[in-house]
Amino acid sequence: ATPTALLVGTGRGAQLGILIKGPEVLESTRTVDTVVLDKTGTVTTGQMSLVEVVGDADALRLAAAVEAASEHPVARAVVAGHPGPLPAVEDFMNAAGSGVTGTVEGHRVRVGRTGAEPVPADLAAAVAEAEEAGRTAVLVVVDGAVRAVLVVADTVRPTSAAAIAALRDLGLAPVLLTGDSAGAAAAVARQVGLDPDAGEVVSGVLPAGKVDVVARLQEQGRVVAMVGDGVNDAAALARADLGLAMGTGTDVAIEAGDVTLVRADLSAAADAVRLSRRTLATIK
């Protein structure tokens, strides 16, 4: 490959809002056959909002107090959903990919995904209904008892479905990867044309597990591109044959990626693959 053509391709990428770390990245893009897509903040905007509180109304106040110390999109939605002053929190703990815990007004409060605590039937029904609608449901647990369900809604980026279709047209097999529940992941998948029954969705993955999913695909002989935005995507972005970070993403994700998608739009991922193929075609 002549460096000149690759440099031209890199410059053309910059015009398209595709920032490529080095000209050699265009070459590794050529053989990619699988694209792993993070859900929250990548396929969706990641700007979540609280849409419903089911159960004890005061649980929202306690939950917002604990979530105030977290940067997670779910946490931001919960805090924004509670206007007014918040009580102080002691012994805050963040369990990546699962939730937060803290002591508020003498009570131990946990906010996060379903855990060991038994969930009352009415609250379990609320969780199931929310997830069926593609929403994220988190529990508020006070002194070991599940007191409320907070329903948080995200928005699928308007360009995601067309971009995933374009990636398929380019011969790439898409896989949605998320720490969220199977139900919420499946609902989002269907909205963007992915089939959960065809193995196109991997859900309930802890932050440390995302890199293992990429590694497993590579062991199967796949050449993997990964698109992500979060702290929990950084290792997977670094491990992937081609790491694409959303421009709106965290600094660690952008540092770990080979490419930054300035437009924060999945269609830029398809543009990057097309650009690479065209650039290399001019060299051949």
> Which are the catalytic amino acids?
38
Binding residues for ligand ADP restricted to 78-97, rule: CB under 6 A: 97
Q: Tell me the two tokens of residue 13.
A: 């990428």
Vertex 165, ends 189 and 39: CA angle to 5°?
35
Kindly report the CA angle at 20 between 271 and 274, in degrees rounded to 5?
A: 20
1, 67, 112, 230 from 7: Cα distances, Å = 11, 46, 46, 29
Which C-beta is closer to Mg ion: that of 250 or that of 279? 250
Are 73 and 46 in contact by the 8 Å Cβ rule? The answer is yes
Contact between 268 and 259 under an 8 Å Cβ cutoff? The reply is no
Contact call for residue 98 and ligand ADP (CB under 6 A): yes
Name the nearest CA neighbour of 108 among 62, 71, 49, 139: 62
Residues 129 and 4: their CA atoms lie apart, in Å, by 55
Q: Which of these ranges, 22-30, 33-41, 121-129, 191-199, lies near ligand ADP under the rule CB under 6 A?
A: 33-41
DSSP character for 61? H
Nearer to Mg ion, 154 or 200 (CB): 154
Does 157 help bind ligand ADP (rule: CB under 6 A)? Answer: no
Of the pair 170, 209, the CB lying nearest ligand ADP is at 209
Stretch 210-249 residues interacting with Mg ion (CB under 5 A): 229-230
Query: Under the criterion CB under 6 A, does residue 276 sit at the interface with ligand ADP?
Result: no
Asked if residue 111 binds ligand ADP (CB under 6 A), the reply is yes
Single out the residue of 10, 34, 40, 260 in contact with Mg ion (rule: CB under 5 A).
Answer: 40
State the residues that interact with Mg ion by CB under 5 A: 38, 40-41, 229-230
State the residues that interact with ligand ADP by CB under 6 A: 38-40, 67, 70, 72, 74-75, 97-100, 111-113, 136, 138, 178-180, 207, 230, 232
